[in-house]
Amino acid sequence: MTDTPLKTWLERDQQILRLQLARPKANIIDAEMIDALSASLASHAADDRLMAVVLDAEGPHFSFGASVKEHLPDQCAAMLKKINALIMQMLEYPVPIVAAVQGQCLGGGLELACAASPIIAAPDAMLGQPEISLAVIAPAASCLLPERIGQAQAEMLLLSGKSIDAERAKLIGLVDEVSEAPTEAALAWIDENIIGKSASSLRIALSAVRHDAVERIRVRLDAVEKVYIDTLMQTKDPLEGLNAFLEKRDPVWENTKAEAD
């Protein structure tokens, strides 16, 4: 594990910001990783030379997802606020963010990828939202996936907890391109579609095309975050699911609400 959770640099005459998750193999999306991503995005947002961002990851996997420990009751409210704020920051970012994923792209990792557009995946990529297997839900994905792939396919991923491969993900619109070299393909996509445009007009065009979707997601994300804290976490099974995962045992579901204090 490296001391720095995120590698960041500029290239192509400072036109492209590179953000690379740098804690392989899991690249867990914990509070430190979220803070690093948010700070880097914020520090470059006002740079008039910037045309695009590439988000990728070191190692064989993009990300195993969010920190399970940070989902526990004493931390989950703060964790949700952090990751949901990052999701909104990405959706409102002034230039396109292109996600290049490989290996496992799960949970909070897939939520980050879905806040980018497009997503380019390696043939070995497996994408999924496994939260339901721990008796918790994926707030950001619950808002992002219906926008991206439609209600039925979103429900399939969110209710089953299953992962799908890159080709299936491309078929349903979750992934835009499958490439043996996703980062190189992301840079090529930027070269072909973005570089050479007016940087100021690009920002206006992106804001215009996303306006309605961003506002819908903002309202829905606030509502789902409240459901997570006030409804889901008042039942017993989420704590059982999280603890069972951390203790490496099978969960025993009670299917009942938590007892009142």
The yes-or-no verdict on residue 261 having pLDDT over 70 is: no
Helix, strand, coil share of the chain (percent; to 5): 50, 15, 35
Six-digit token string for 175:
């992934």
Arithmetic mean of pLDDT, 22-34: 97
Share of the chain above pLDDT 90, in %: 95
In 161-198, which ranges are continuous DSSP H helix? 166-171, 182-193
Per-chain mean pLDDT for the chain: 96
The answer for residues whose C-beta is within 8 angstroms of residue 86's C-beta and 6 or more apart is: 34, 37, 38, 112, 115
Average pLDDT over residues 230-256: 95
Which of 33-37, 68-72, 170-174, 212-216 shows the lowest mean pLDDT across its residues?
Answer: 68-72
pTM listed for this prediction: 0.95
Beta-carbon contacts of 59 under 8 Å, excluding residues fewer than 6 positions away, are 24, 25, 27, 103
Q: Stretch 189-196: mean pLDDT, rounded? A: 97
Tokens of 260: 């009142």
**Residue 259 pLDDT grade (very low, low, confident, very high; cuts 50, 70, 90):** low
CA distance 235 to 251: 14
Start-to-end CA span in the chain (Å): 41
One-letter amino acid for residue 231 of the chain: T
Determine the pLDDT at residue 1: 40
Mean pLDDT of the region 14-27: 97
pLDDT at position 3:
72
Are 30 and 64 in contact, with CB atoms under 8 Å apart?
Answer: no
pLDDT tens for 124-178 read 999 999 999 999 999 999 999 999 999 999 999 999 999 999 999 999 999 999 9
- DSSP annotation of 256: S
pLDDT at 2: 46
- pLDDT for 105: 98
Q: Which two tokens stand for residue 104?
A: 């496992």
What are the structural domains of the chain? 6-193 (3.90.226.10)
How is residue 222 written in tokens? Answer: 């606030």
The runs of H, that is alpha helices, within 92-165 are 108-114, 139-149, 151-160
- DSSP structural state of residue 56: E
Partners of residue 8 on adjacent β-strands = 19
- Does residue 61 carry a pLDDT above 50? yes
What mean pLDDT do residues 193-219 have?
A: 97
How confident is the model over 100-114, as pLDDT tens digits?
999 999 999 999 999
How far is the C-alpha of 94 from the C-alpha of 41, rounded, in Å?
A: 10
Whether the predicted pLDDT of 260 surpasses 90: no
Q: What is the DSSP letter of 239?
A: H
